[in-house]
Chains A and B, each alone.
Chain A
Amino acid sequence: MVADAAPSKLAADRPRALTSLPLRAWLARRLEALAIPVGAALVGFLLFGLFLIALGKSPLQLIDIVWRGGFGSPFALGNSLQRAAPLLFAALCVALPARLGLVVIGGEGAIVLGGLAAAAIAPPLAGWPAPLAIPLMAGAAALAGAVWIGAVGWLQAYRNVNATIASLLMSSIAIALANHLIEGALRDPASLNKPSTLPVGDAFMLGPMPVIGVHWGLGCGVLACVIAYLLMDRTTLGFAARIAGGNVKAAQIQGLPVGRLIVGFTALGGAFAALAGYFEVAAVQGNANGTLAAGYGYTGILVAFLARQNPLAIMPVAFLLGGIEASSGLIQRRMQLPDATVLVLEGLLFLVVLLSETLYGRFKPFNPHLWTEKREAAAAGGAA
């Protein structure tokens, strides 16, 4: 054992190094968590630029359009933020189970079911005071999502069914079920061309937030991210979940209730995703219809991975991707590109981000244990 060979040398090395080492080490680790995803995103954009050049389009023009369409004016900013709101919730549906080591990709289904549940419960509540009815609608949505994605967790924890596959299939079932109900039992007879549920009614609709002018889903999404962060990083529950995600065997040996943790955190993720659907219904659409499955659940996966499953980092990433999606119409019209272009960009980003996962722990400047290893080796060499 190299390290054991020369304890005296190492000890002699310590006092001098200790003064600055912890701070530098702390900084280095934080920097790694920032530099690798940002670097990966840049590579993704670069590849997309090459893709555009291959199509004979100008990447610079694209940047200009994304800036104007997504961020350059108060209107564009509002549009981006409105699109960021459901992404916040959808990303949490990926990030929370990810801490337990599960890759859940079925947020889209939870969004649709959440929206549907909120829209379905609204007509019977007609006439109730809004402060009572609004939480009930949100609660119904959250419950639907929690049951749906919680079931995925249950299948994984107690029946060893792969959560990734289960969530994808459950999502398809949810969307099919919602379509069936929207076009059948819950259909508003007045909705002719675009099958929809009955409108939730103006009394239960949410207005814009003051100052920003974007609907309350954004504020609640930010709040949800902060809550998720506190839960994950500041509570013993979150820590227990991370132990289970880090090594199930170790968690079992510590007597932690691994199964309940998995069900609990997947259910919470599902509840968050479902709230995205609730806000789409109660703040944007006014009823539940086919546009609930607009792909926020899938973009949310990308957001969560770009943010490295960190709830705080989800916020800026969701804003960025919300902006890109907001400018997608403009990209189509100005650059004569198909509407799948943004999907190409998102796919490239996803690929590069997944590849970048293999880079952690490899760069010496970011990894304090590599610094000392060299010292120890040198010390051992000296001793030998």
Chain B
Amino acid sequence: MSDTPTPRALGVETIGMTKRFGAFAALEDVSMKIEAGGFHALLGENGAGKSTFVKCVMGFYAPTAGSVLVDGREVEITNPKGAQGRGLGMVYQHFTLVPSLTGAENLVISRADAPAILDWKAERAALAAFMEGMPFRLNLDRPVAELAAGEKQKLEIVKQLYLKARFLILDEPTSVLTPDEAEEVLGLLRAMADRGDLTVLMISHKFREVETFARTLSVLRRGRLVGGGAVGALSRADMAAMMIGERVVRPIAARVGEPDPAREILRVVDLDATDASGLRRIAIPDLRVRAREIVGIAGVSGNGQKELADVLGGRIRAAGGRVVVADEPYTGTRAQSRARRVRFIPEEPLREACAPRMSVAENLAFRAFDRRGDDPSGPPTFWLDRRAMTRRAKDLIERFKVKTASSEAPIATLSGGNVQRAVLARELTDPVDLLIVVNPCFGLDFAAVAEIRTRIVTARNEGAAVLLISEDLDEILELSDRIVVMSEGRLVYETAAASAEAGTIGRHMAGHH
């Protein structure tokens, strides 16, 4: 492998790349040119279309329209294997190595032309020669499971180079790395690009990284290419403005009344928790939500919002600290949530809040099926009242305009917006003191979004304390009384919504405090 001539970097260009899912345009007419030997950064908020764009280039998605040019020639890439054959490679946010195999085994089996019977002696010699030319030193004889995250990431990159990728796409490559590791990996890749061996396209949220390593950049917003250029020519404020858009915080007519300073409904004190894998840790010294107040938690996906929601929803137990609701400790049991009128609406309602194969009526009954009449404090009933269940379901379907064939249809047969309507109908019919919602409008169409946001604001106006955890900054800006930014498991910035500035929030989301 070392005696073949050094492969040259590939230039890639897209023309009018468009991808629609039904009526929703995830990507609209994106034309982008990445020079051979370039190091190009792709910036944008969640849902801006970055992943869709690279998936179209790699052949995961068939674009609705548009074409890809590799080294100036139009090519048809219909699947990732085809992309690999043309020298395009991608390193994902999540690891794709087989943990029980060694690095060497992972490399060899990833090869499309790996023979059925392997001559390990020859393979090892070839790998040793190959590694000579690599920027990273890696021990290929250890099982991947024993490698640290940084080494795995390097191995993922080495794997792409081994597969002869000369155009490498990195999807938020440093999210799993320590700052030092990130520095090392990106620095070496930049050096390869500068030598003309490789072209890099990197998806990133982190301005510092982009400024240090990328040469050029493009910004996507809501599926459209909104700007770009040479890295030095753009300031951070420029980049943030492009990502966030020329947004003014809209005055929200629907919000009525001021937060009640005397009634603190939710108080999180010195909370310390880790997710099931033990990798993500959150530490929140102090978070308060008052009655008639919406506190929006903004942040880039994977910065601890999910863990915070899981603690509040009673799904993971805090290692330290307290969650206090209405002046008493709260762990999310049914009795507690009922007595203190806490409602939790998780993200992806069909997957997290519903039993897909049970009927709409049954799903609508999850909260109240064991309740004695309207009295929330009594002990749960023993017998199930199916008639009351159907009656309540029909009433809720009517009031919340849930579109379903019948109350007996499985809830999985409903559209996303209607599932969310059903969940809101279930959770928001009775008086609510504390409402915790996570990405309530993710993946919904505009009509459903407006309606669902109105419901949340209405709950607030009626006196509920609302904790809104959302990756959609627009949503946070539109609904919140107060905005808190979460980054790497911590609350790093807080501002009143009235004085909120999207650019500042965006910078804090990107990790600059």
Contacts and interface: CB of A to CB of B under 8 A. Distances in A.
Contacts of B413: 369, 373
A10 B334 CA distance: 38
Interface of B: 22-23, 313-315, 332-338, 344, 346, 351-358, 362, 365-367, 369-370, 380-384, 386, 403-406, 408-410, 413, 415-418, 445, 447-448
A249 B351 contact: yes
Interface string A226-249: 000000011111111011011101
Given A10-B403, A25-B406, A249-B346, A237 B382 contact: yes
Contact size range, A: 35 or more
Contacts of B410: 361, 369
A259 B333 CA distance: 12
Nearest to B417: A1
B409 A236 contact: no
A260 to B, nearest CB: 11
B382 A3 contact: no
14 contacts: A1-B416, A1-B448, A4-B417, A26-B408, A234-B383, A235-B383, A235-B384, A239-B384, A240-B369, A243-B355, A247-B352, A249-B346, A253-B353, A368-B406
A209 interface: no
A238 B384 contact: yes
Interface of A: 1-4, 7, 10, 21-22, 25-26, 29, 233-240, 242-243, 245-247, 249-250, 252-257, 361, 368-369, 371-373
A352 B414 CA distance: 30
A250 B352 CA distance: 5
A253 B346 CA distance: 8
Contacts of B386: 234
B352 A234 contact: no
Given A1-B416, A246-B358, A255-B337, 15 more contacts: A1-B415, A4-B403, A21-B406, A25-B405, A234-B384, A236-B382, A239-B370, A240-B369, A240-B370, A246-B357, A252-B315, A253-B344, A254-B334, A255-B336, A369-B406
Nearest to A252: B315
A266 to B, nearest CB: 19
A153 B417 CA distance: 36
Given A1-B445, A236-B370, A253-B346, A246 B380 contact: no
Contacts of B352: 247, 249-250, 253
A250 B336 contact: no
Q: Which of A4, A234, A237, A245 has the most CB of B within 10 A?
A: A4
A56 B22 CA distance: 57
Contact of B356 (A1, A4, A247): A247
A301 B494 CA distance: 58
A352 B351 CA distance: 29
A229 to B, nearest CB: 12
Q: A10, A29, A368, A369 — which one has the most chain B CB atoms within 10 A of its CB?
A: A369
> Which of A239, A243, A250 has the largest number of chain B CB atoms within 10 A?
A250
Contacts of A247: 351-352, 354-356
5 smallest beta-carbon distances between A and B, as pairs: A246-B355, A255-B334, A236-B370, A369-B413, A372-B405
A246 B356 contact: yes
Contacts of A257: 333-334
Given A1-B445, A1-B448, A21-B406, A253 B315 contact: yes
A22 B389 CA distance: 16
Given A236-B369, A238-B384, A250-B366, A3 B334 contact: no
Contacts of B417: 1, 4
A369 B409 contact: yes
A4 B370 contact: no
Given A1-B417, A253-B344, A29 B354 contact: no
Contacts of A252: 313-315
B405 A3 contact: no
Nearest to A237: B382
A239 B355 contact: no
Contact of B333 (A234, A242, A255): A255
A33 B335 CA distance: 36
B354 A250 contact: yes
B421 to A, nearest CB: 11
A384 B335 CA distance: 49
A249 B405 CA distance: 26
Given A236-B382, A250-B366, A371 B405 contact: yes
B366 A254 contact: yes
Nearest to B366: A254
B358 A243 contact: yes
Contacts of A1: 22-23, 415-417, 445, 447-448
B405 A369 contact: yes
Nearest to B355: A246
A257 B337 CA distance: 13
Of A4, A22, A255, the most chain B CB neighbours within 10 A belong to A255
Contacts of A243: 355, 358, 366
Nearest to B23: A1
